[in-house]
Chain A
Amino acid sequence: MQARPLRRVVITGMGAISPLGVGAAALWQGLREGRSAIGPLRHPDAERLRVKVAAQVPASFDPAANLDERILPTLDRTSEFALHAAREAVAQSGLEFANRGLGLRTAVVVGTGVGGETTQDEQSRRLYGENAQRAHPLTIVRLMTNASASQISIAYGLRGPTFAVASACASANHAIIQAAQMIRCGMADAAVTGGTEACLTYGALRAWEAMRVLADDTCRPFSANRRGLVLGEGAAIFVLESLEHARSRGATILAELAGSGMTADASDIVMPSAEGAAAAMRQALDDAGLAPQDVDYINAHGTGTQANDVTETKAIRLAFGEHANRLAVSSTKSMHGHALGASGALELVAAIGALREGVVPPTANLDRVDPACDLDYVPNVAREMPVRAVLSNSFAFGGLNAVLALRRAP
């Protein structure tokens, strides 16, 4: 069998449901303005919980809006987010999947850290807390990790390779890379991909509390007074297609997904390694054909924990050498929180915004310099500057690293 030549991959649609609101535009606008969506935790058990703050999708989000009411009972919150984000992305792309067999040539890959946690938690509460004798009959279809990918596939008649990817906080980036690779090597012409997460349940919040990595005030990445991460939720979904496919139909290209890097630290289950992260960044540069000095902005993983921010700073220095001093690096988790398996997808909206508008979103709440974090983190106010290429970092518990490399639309 003759190898097919590799194809270039571009992004032609994006959609998001995030703590900054409904729509990718609401997310990008909030980030540009340096507006943090972190606030007091809204939860029926908030009084009992020690975690006090979170970045939550606004209460005004209506999952039923524009969705077929017959499918609503089959959806966990993760799938609600994913379907709404997918609709926005597909509409923007203008793709008609029913035309010329495109549905069969379209992949769906959605990242999620834990899948249907809300469903799991509700049903566990019924069974163990209330001694109910039976679980809801739609429990399985709501909670299965692939539910979001399958719901998107069904909604748009997408019959190509469809599955979920789970790698904790790197899930979205790993998913997007899978989708891009399938287009690149000719297994698909288009893909709907991204990440979704909705796991702010009593059980999950208690589990995060016990790990002692949550901030009690706000998320302050790279700041000396940082106190940990702030949990978030949401989804962002993208339409990818081959460059020739997008050009042949005259589509508006948002950005080129030029390359990617994936590595594992193979060291500690939670403590990150600078070498593993640096190797993923180097791979992404090589894969995209970028030299370090071609990159102007890195959307950092930037969780705001003691361990991540120092290690990521070291990793960027390892991968970029001297050029690290000229990079703009920011963590938008300071505003949209850490949406775990969706975070890389929310951050891709930021990366695309930076490329398209020449504006780097800031790191909010960075008010005290940490000598161990010595890069230019674009503190608190967005910066207008030419942005030719961007890296977007995601590093997960388990020591898993996934980095996207993006260029302006060709």
Chain B
Amino acid sequence: MTMQTLVDGLVLGGLFSLSAVGFSLLFGVLGVVNLSHGAFVLIGGYAAYTLHEKLGLDPLLALPVIMLGMFCLGYAFQRSVIQWATKRASLLASMLLTYGFALMIRNALVLIYSPDFKSVTPAYAFDSLSFGEVTVGLTRVAALLVSIVLLAALAATLRYSNIGRTIRATAQQEQAAALCGVNIRHVFALTSGLSAAFAGAAGVAIGLVMPFSPPDETLWTVNAFVVVTLGGIGSPAGALVGGLILGVVNTMTAQLIGAAFPNAMMFLLLVLMLVVRPAGLLGNSFKGSR
């Protein structure tokens, strides 16, 4: 029983990690708290839903397409709107701006898809794997695998590729990076694109595992923040650790204390963490946390 709860928690945690890593990156590199992140997650979910319903495309095959589309969206979002706001007003004001966008996206999703719950159900949605007494749905396994593979890919990109190096350099010292010939605006927009792409991917994975509706965007934004605070800003590993802890705490609380308390527990953990160690478990001292 406990084993099953633990596995369910890990699957949920994988989703939390994936949905938070983009938020974490944007916060770490640009210092922008993107309150429309949850809305981006949902756009990914609804895109997978549409592609599956209309074209019969498997969500896992649709994933690269959606990530690419979201990347472009995120890039444009940074170059057009966010950049303007951070230049003219404060970073805190960019929070309000993104909140405004979250409201708009949520409203648009309600108008297009209705406020009802939707879910993506590929043919294998009802198959499952059993390991001893633990049973895991195939879609859940897929979601967990997607999370881990994508997080690893992002970590590797940030660590070893050229573009990853420029992103990290920009996060550490904007001016110095600019002096070395890094096009800051381009790097910021790339980061925002990556962030949106990962939000979209998280949306697809979430769509596989659970039903979703437009008001969920708040939930995913807040979850992302909790994960990032737990794990540490700007690091994929931090997002993974934070997400997994959160997922396990979530299912364990539901199992042991009561089905109504996971959220309260989560926020208690958040406030405690902020007090004890604001930089998070694996935090880099990036811009947002300084």
Whether chains A and B associate is: no
Q: Which residues of A contact B (CB under 8 A)?
A: none
